[in-house]
Amino acid sequence: MAKQKLGFIGVGNMGGPMSAHLLKAGHEVLAYDNNEAALARALAQGAKRMASIKQMADEVETILLCLPTPAIVEAVALGAGGLLEGSKVKTVVELSTIGPRTAAAVAAGLAKRKIEYVDSPISGGVTGAVKATLAVMVSCPRGMFDALEPVLKNFGKTFYLGDKPGQAQTMKLANNILSAAAVVMTSEAVVMGVKAGLNPKVMIDVINSGSGRNTATEDKFPRCVLPRTFDVGFKAALAYKDVRLCVDEAEQLGAPMVVGSAVREMLAITLASIGKDADYSEVVKVCEAWAGVEVRG
């Protein structure tokens, strides 16, 4: 694989390990993040600091984004001092979860300057980012996918969803609402069992040996809930954002999202009860408070 000069905006919990994989593969990585601690970690791994988004867009042709919200992505791509003002950038690879409508809007905005947009959200969490086992969903013209796949495979397994911006985002939203539903329903089910006198660790072991196993029972509960560390590494606010985007998109399409709406409400209640910095796994605390029990392994 030919080595490339790549820009990477957003080198935090997910972007940091991903940019490190690019460096290990021999690529030159130019990094930007407004979080100095995150940027310092990337620089320690060999990345080169960029003073601004525009500086990066003036120096590199391909730039990857790994950012938390649709509004931030729009500002970085299309706002003042953003990628749109760069003189060299030709391709923007969107690794964030921003929903299909924002993806289409960003793609259209960049197209005005003949900058290609690649819709490429990722799934697998911080563990997947560190281990390079992410699911990398991609929608863009097929030729562009073929050209970029050697870079994207540094993050995990690639999946081609189609040629239109937003198709990969729709796939990501479907994935994430299933993940969130697993957290919410596992919280409710385990709290019910504890209220009835069952041992939560035994419950998790039984579920993982039966048909109810899911990503929450296999990872999040044993690792973060039973030991009461609540450190999945993904904020409930981001999970709420993803689920809200999914429910809104389903409504726009005229597709049912009855259970998804309930998952969205549980995440909203978690944020209202625990606070805006709540960890994803702290959904269980809402159920515990209502039931008057504690899940502890």
- Residue 134 gets the label, from left (phi > 0), alpha (psi -120 to 50) or beta, of beta
**Cβ-based neighbour number of residue 212 at 10 Å:** 15
Q: Confirm whether 195 is a catalytic residue.
A: no
Contacts of range 266-269, beta carbons closer than 8 Å, 24 or more positions apart: 266/184, 267/180, 267/184, 267/236, 267/239, 267/240, 267/243, 268/240
Distances (CA, A) of 131 to 100, 126, 176: 27, 9, 19
> What phi and psi values does residue 171 have, to the nearest 5 degrees?
-60, -40
d(CA 273, CA 286): 7
Tokens of 77: 């791509």
Asked if residues 217 and 179 have their Cβ atoms less than 8 Å apart, the reply is no
| Count of positions (residues) in the chain | 297
Q: Which two tokens stand for residue 98?
A: 């921003």
Buried b (16+ CB within 10 A) or exposed e, 98-122: bbbbbbbbbbebbeeeebbbbbbbb
**Catalytic choice (24, 112, 172, 276):** 172
Whose CA is closest to 94, among 150, 156, 138, 51? 138
**DSSP for residue 223:** I
Q: Given CA atoms 14, 229, 275, 187 in this order, what sign does their dihedral have?
A: positive
Give the residue numbers annotated as catalytic, written as ranges. Answer: 172
